[in-house]
Amino acid sequence: MSRILGLKANPRLVAPFIISALLIAAILFMLPKGGGENPLNQALEGGTYALDAVGRAHQSLTSFVEDREDRALELLKAARISIENARAKLTSARYTEDEYVLRMVENYQVFASASDVMAQGVENLLAINGDMKRALDHYGRGEYEEASREASKCLEVLTPLLDDLESGSERLTDVNYRYVAAGHRSQVEQAIAYYENEMEIYAQYILLLKSLIEGVSYLETRQLIDEYLRQLQSSIANGDYENARRLLQEISRLLQSLKDPNHQKAAETASRIDPNLLGGKASETAQELKLRLKSIEGIEGFENYLKSLEKYLEALEHLEQGNLAGAEQAINEGMEGLGQGAGQGQGQGQGQGQGLGDPELEKLYTGLMEAFSSLLMLIRGQPPQG
């Protein structure tokens, strides 16, 4: 969302499309008197309509991302009107032998086609919005198979346009500024930026949906891991260390299974999502998928946490047996495993380099480090025994 809003909020970027009517008037004023509907006049008007269509299509997309469907549809209709006007003017302008005008028409037709593709992209997103919302709702309830089915429906609509978007981008890079009216050049640059931005956002929705499809098995395993972690916390609190160790082993086994290439394919897809380009529930889901579908590096960080947690259990057992030295040694080893030795002070938060950059792991590391620190304070606060 931040990039879209940045484009929308910047007056330098939006102003060219707001004053398009004034630009047409200025261009007409500069033409020779009695010019009427001559080819150059029509080419310039057609170009203005085409560039205006690109801007309106992008504004429509912005409204869609912001969950303002009615506004998105309204702007989409305005873009379609501008596209039709552009096509009519540019078609009429071709009835000339003036090479300069013909080249200008070719340039502006590229933008008319680009705006058409952009409008189609927004139409596709509006068409699948209901299915996509259902997919996200299913995901939020942990119904991953159902989410996958809804996401598959969405991809059937969205995917075919990717080739057109890519082709349009290639054509835009070939625009010859020599055959663009001087008054249009800043608009041309902005129109290209708008097009590239829409192509990126459209691809982000596809990545989000693909993650829901590819990540079903991974997410189900993560759901089981999360449940075991809750049971593990309860076992530790109740002093059931035998069950806690059993749960640790089961969680380790499940984490190892997530290193499978099929699971890692889903993790790689999720890693390419940029939640900042999406809005609302789509952005929230994208962020969560990036955290839950961990790469092998993230899984190893999770495994390291479990190793230190095992040391915490060992320290508790030593403490119950009155073995303070053994408990302190287990604490030191556990804290070192988290990236920070006990000798560096107590209550200093998370480890150095372990879990950083992953909010989920950082929370786990920080919580365990605090538990170690509290236990160490308890040991050092007791009078020596023997």
For tokens 């940029």, the residue is 274
Q: What is the pLDDT of residue 348?
A: 34
Beta-carbon contacts of 76 under 8 Å, excluding residues fewer than 6 positions away, are 56, 57, 60, 119, 122, 123, 126
Pick the range with the lowest mean pLDDT from 34-48, 84-98, 246-260.
34-48
Q: Is the pLDDT of residue 24 over 50?
A: no
Q: Is the pLDDT of residue 14 over 50?
A: no
**What ranges in 272-358 are assigned the alpha helix state H?**
280-292, 296-320, 324-337
Q: Is the pLDDT of residue 99 over 70?
A: yes
**What ranges in 10-38 are assigned the alpha helix state H?**
11-18, 20-30
Q: In angstroms, what CA-CA distances link 91 with 87, 96, 212, 333?
A: 6, 11, 45, 77
Show the CA angle centred on residue 103, arms to residues 100 and 109, nearest 5°. Answer: 140
Q: What is the pLDDT of residue 346?
A: 32
If you average pLDDT over residues 265-270, what whole number do you get?
A: 96
Q: Is the pLDDT of residue 361 over 70?
A: yes
Q: Is the pLDDT of residue 334 over 90?
A: yes
Of 182 and 11, the structure prediction assigns the larger pLDDT to 182
Q: Is the pLDDT of residue 32 over 50?
A: no
Within 10 angstroms of residue 318's Cβ, the number of other Cβ atoms is 19
Q: What is the pLDDT of residue 1?
A: 52
- Strongest mean pLDDT among 23-32, 93-102, 268-277, 354-363: 268-277
If you average pLDDT over residues 56-67, what whole number do you get?
A: 97
Express each pLDDT in 129-145 by its tens digit. Answer: 999 999 999 999 999 99
- Residue 291's nearest CA partner among 258, 262, 257, 267 is 267
Q: What is the pLDDT of residue 35?
A: 43
Q: Is the pLDDT of residue 350 over 70?
A: no
If you average pLDDT over residues 54-66, what whole number do you get?
A: 97
Q: What percent of the chain has pLDDT over 90?
A: 77
pLDDT band at 22; cut points 50, 70, 90? very low
Contact present, 119 and 76 (Cβ < 8 Å): yes
Q: What is the pLDDT of residue 37?
A: 72
Express each pLDDT in 156-187 by its tens digit. Answer: 999 999 999 999 999 999 888 888 888 899 99
If you average pLDDT over residues 125-131, what whole number do you get?
A: 97
Q: What is the pLDDT of residue 215?
A: 97
Of 380 and 118, the structure prediction assigns the larger pLDDT to 118
pTM above 0.85, yes or no: no
Q: Whole-number mean pLDDT of the chain?
A: 87
Q: Is the pLDDT of residue 229 over 80?
A: yes
d(CA 288, CA 234): 25
Q: What is the pLDDT of residue 287?
A: 96
Q: For the chain, how far is it from start to end, CA to CA, in angstroms?
A: 64
pLDDT band at 358; cut points 50, 70, 90? confident
> Architecture of 2-214 per CATH?
Up-down Bundle (1.20)
Q: What is the pLDDT of residue 380?
A: 83
pLDDT band at 356; cut points 50, 70, 90? low
Give domain limits for the chain: 2-214, 296-386
